[in-house]
Structure 1
Amino acid sequence: MKSLVLTLALATLAQAAQAHAQAPQSPAAAYAASAAPAADPRKPPASKPGALTLQQVVEQARARNPTLLAAEANLRAVRAQEIQAGVRVNPTLGVNGTTVTLPNDGSEGNPPSYAVQVTRLFERGNKREYRLEDARATTVQTAAQLEDTARQTILQVKQAFTKMLIAKEALELSNANLADYRHEVEIANDRYKAGDIGKLDFERLDLQLGSFESDQANAEITLLQSSYQLQTLLGSQTSSPDFDVTGDIIPPILTQTQAELTQAALTRRPDYAAARAGIVAAEANARLAIANGTTDPTLEGEYDRSGSYNSFGFNVNIPLRFFDRNQGNKETARLQAESTRFTSIAARNQVTSDVDQAWVGYTRAKALSDRFGQHYLDESIDVLGIARFAYDHGGLALIDYLDALRDARSSTSDALNAYSQTWMAIHQLSAASATELIP
């Protein structure tokens, strides 16, 4: 259909140019010649003063996003447990007095007596050392989990940024297309009043205006919703209508290879690092469980005074662990440590799979967006411009012009979707490889 429209339009254009040289230009033709050029989705949308770039948005999210702030506070709380893990068992002081109101000579029965005991439990099996090791390993794992939370949150921020930027471009294109088509309807109205076209043709053209108005309204809704979503991710308690972003619509070309990104992911991905740290923490917990099965003696020193006599004594308590040797906790810790090894393998496999999937998404989306940017958009703009001129000069049927109009709208929408998908794939690949890919 595009080839037919283009062929007819070119022939009409030649005829119209010849007629134009022989006759004065009609008001309708002059009006059509003054129409604005077709909107191009490859041009970045206009931005308000103070509009934020992607890098600025990411920096604000790292500083103000409440999810990240909560994760950072949790890390500090986990690190504080290292202090508690290193404390030693407190001694116990006991003071006892009996018959303290009786005479000291014993005439009224037993003389008053006093006793002071100091008791302390002594840990064996390096329990304190293993508690510290377990707490430190847990801190390392929690720190990696914090970085993974940041990775996922920044991915959400980048996706929201791109959604808002594409919505801005869609709204700008919708406004331009709506204004341009209203201009076209005004031309048709002039032609209808002049008897150049019939009522049916004019009303069919006028009906298409509703589609352009619908595109404009939907684009405005999408822009506002994406703006509010992005502001929420940046930690704003209330959304501002003046918030704006700026950036390129055409995605960049990545210089890294798939193998390089996979290796970077295995080195940098925080969820994989957290899985490896989980093995260390589980092994430390297993050693602590074994240590907790050892016997801890309790030593007590005592000073007694009865009447005028002083004495000292001691006491040793050693639990006889015939039955409870912490064997259940030992087995549980051993199995949990074994489980974490499989968890680490699963995390590694997921890392490589994430990179593979994101790479496929990027390469396919980039190829499509390049095809639109380098071929289809220019072609659709040419077809629409020629078809419009031909129709305005009476050399093209209305149905063919409406087909060209729909094709142009479809190409513009498809191009924006291709650019959006490419940007989303880049963000996904950046998160999957834990590498900042955007220059």
Structure 2
Amino acid sequence: MTQKCLYLLCATLMACPPLVAQSSSPAVPPVQNVQTAPITIQQAVDRALTGNPSLAAAREHLSAVHATMLTAKARQNPSLTLLGQGVTLPEINNNGGNPYYYSANVSRLFERGQKRRWRMDGAADTADVTESQLHDQERQLVLNVRQAFTNMLAAKAALGIAEENLADYRKTLDLSKAQLDAGAITRTDYERIDLQLAQFEADDDAARLNMQQTSAQLQQLFGVDHPSPTFDVTGTLEPPPLTLTMADAENRALAARPDYQAAKQSLLLSQANARFAIASGTADPTVASEYERSGADNTFGVSVQIPLRIFDRNQGEKERTRYEVDSSRFAVTAARNQVVSDVDQAWLALNTAQRQAVRYNTHYLAEAGRVRDNLQFSYRNGNSTLLDYLDALRDYRSIHLSSLNANVQVWLAIHQLSYATATDIIP
């Protein structure tokens, strides 16, 4: 009987489906680093204008300044005063009693001298100045993004140069090892070649670190707190042709520079404040009407209260705002001179960078490449010395990086001129 029961139990267990441990929450797929597509310089600018937290704070501040215009538009509120005195309470089994005396008073202050108008103008001019300052902050952010983008492109190109030089030199080192094994060169010559590998490896490490740092700096402008290691950019460092003249650049700057616009708007604000100070020296009457009931008598009256501006006629504010207007006029002139100076200096820097880039790209880079290739071929075939070959490698590396830096300086000068004119000078 016992064996039969055991047999039935085993059969039942074999027929049942296996038990599977189930989790109370669904399985979460592992996080994978997704390679993002490289972005262009315009995409980088758009992303910064959208996500930069400092710029977002400035936009909220502008909204707060616009809200002050509602306060400036408000008119003076009337005042209501209710008064009751000598109120008698009703006795028991009596029809009740009435207040002995009560009154109602309504009054309102009427502003003279168009104070409300000048107050509204001052609030509107303040909002205009703040908006121009916001545009100037956007202009500064665009410059920072373009410079960071160009620096990252340069770091990316420098890393490519370092990797190319390292790979090419390792080929030379392998060839030298074969020559050492064949007895064609001495171990001292081979070790001198091997020691130079440390410089190429150090250049590669430094270029890789610079690439990572410039990437983090650019992503920080986007409002990213933890930079992505897969972030990449795309673009060219070849200097573009420009047809703009210095006079055109100056005219563009004077028409578009937000800091110059803010200076002119500050003059309007000072003038509005001066007119408000003059208006504040006028007396504002308060007109009131009052109804009174005393016992069975009803009375109605009207009163006008006018402050006598004998001693205080707002002389101090009138004088202060007059000087502020003169100060703002000089500030407009200074801002205009600064705009022209910024454009001229950026223009001279761009011309100098263009000349240097032309020299490197059309002469020195190709010449250094030919010298390196010739001495490399000659050394590998035993027709030149080791020192000549190593000098050629150093010269080519230096000229190649100088050529890259010359192109970068052209782009940085273009960004600076665009910043000085507050426009895109590249068609």
Question: TM-score by structure 1 length?
Answer: 0.86
Structure 1 residue 350: deviation in Å?
Answer: 0.7
Structure 1 residue 49: deviation in Å?
Answer: 5.8
Q: Which residue number in structure 2 is paired with residue 327 of structure 1? A: 315
CA distance in 1, matches of 2:149, 2:45: 9
Q: How does 1:171-320 map to 2 (within 5 A)?
A: 171-320=159-308
Q: Which residue number in structure 2 is paired with residue 64 of structure 1? A: 51
Q: Which residue number in structure 2 is paired with residue 369 of structure 1? A: 357
Q: How does 1:401-420 map to 2 (within 5 A)?
A: 401-420=389-408
Task: Point out 4+ residue stretches in structure 1 off by more than 4 angstroms.
Answer: none
CA distance in 2, matches of 1:79, 1:49: 39
Structure 1 residue 286: deviation in Å?
Answer: 0.6
Alpha-carbon contact 2:125-2:266 (below 8 Å) kept: yes
- Give CA deviations for 1:348-382 in whole Å, capped at 9, x if unaligned: 11111111111111111111112111111111111
Q: What CA RMSD, in Å, does the superposition of the two structures yield over aligned residues?
A: 1.5
Is 1:146 paired with 2:134? yes
CA distance in 2, matches of 1:265, 1:243: 34
Give 1:66's aligned amino acid.
P
Structure 1 residue 67: deviation in Å?
Answer: 2.0
Match of 1:124 among 112, 120, 126: 112
Match of 2:373 among 371, 379, 385: 385
CA distance in 2, matches of 1:59, 1:434: 16
CA distance in 2, matches of 1:297, 1:327: 20
Structure 1 residue 237: deviation in Å?
Answer: 3.0
CA distance in 2, matches of 1:202, 1:331: 85
Is 1:342 paired with 2:334? no
Q: Pick closer, same or farther for the CA change 1:200–1:303 going to 2, 3 Å.
A: same
- Give CA deviations for 1:67-87 in whole Å, capped at 9, x if unaligned: 222222222211121111111
Q: Which residue number in structure 2 is paired with residue 55 of structure 1? A: 42
Is 1:92 paired with 2:87? no
- Give CA deviations for 1:216-260 in whole Å, capped at 9, x if unaligned: 111111111111111111122321111111000212111111111
Alpha-carbon contact 2:88-2:99 (below 8 Å) kept: no
Alpha-carbon contact 1:102-1:112 (below 8 Å) kept: no
- Give CA deviations for 1:251-298 in whole Å, capped at 9, x if unaligned: 211111111111111111111111111111110111011111111111
In the alignment, structure 2 segments of 5+ residues that lack a partner are 1-34, 92-97
- Give CA deviations for 1:130-165 in whole Å, capped at 9, x if unaligned: 011111111221111111111111000000000011
Structure 1 residue 102: deviation in Å?
Answer: 5.5
Secondary structure at 1:99 match in 2: strand
Alpha-carbon contact 1:72-1:146 (below 8 Å) kept: yes
Alpha-carbon contact 2:270-2:321 (below 8 Å) kept: yes
Alpha-carbon contact 1:148-1:270 (below 8 Å) kept: yes
Aligned residues: 387
Which range is displaced more, 59-68 or 340-349?
59-68
Give 1:112's aligned amino acid.
Y
Give 2:417's aligned amino acid.
L
Q: How does 1:70-89 map to 2 (within 5 A)?
A: 70-89=57-76
Higher relative contact order (Cα pairs below 8 Å, separated by 6+ residues): 1
CA distance in 2, matches of 1:193, 1:313: 122
Q: Which residue number in structure 2 is paired with residue 165 of structure 1? A: 153
Question: TM-score by structure 2 length?
Answer: 0.88
Give 1:195's aligned amino acid.
G
Q: Which residue number in structure 1 is paired with residue 144 of structure 2? A: 156
Alpha-carbon contact 1:103-1:112 (below 8 Å) kept: no
Give 1:93's aligned amino acid.
L
CA distance in 2, matches of 1:235, 1:208: 42
In the alignment, structure 1 segments of 5+ residues that lack a partner are 1-47, 105-109
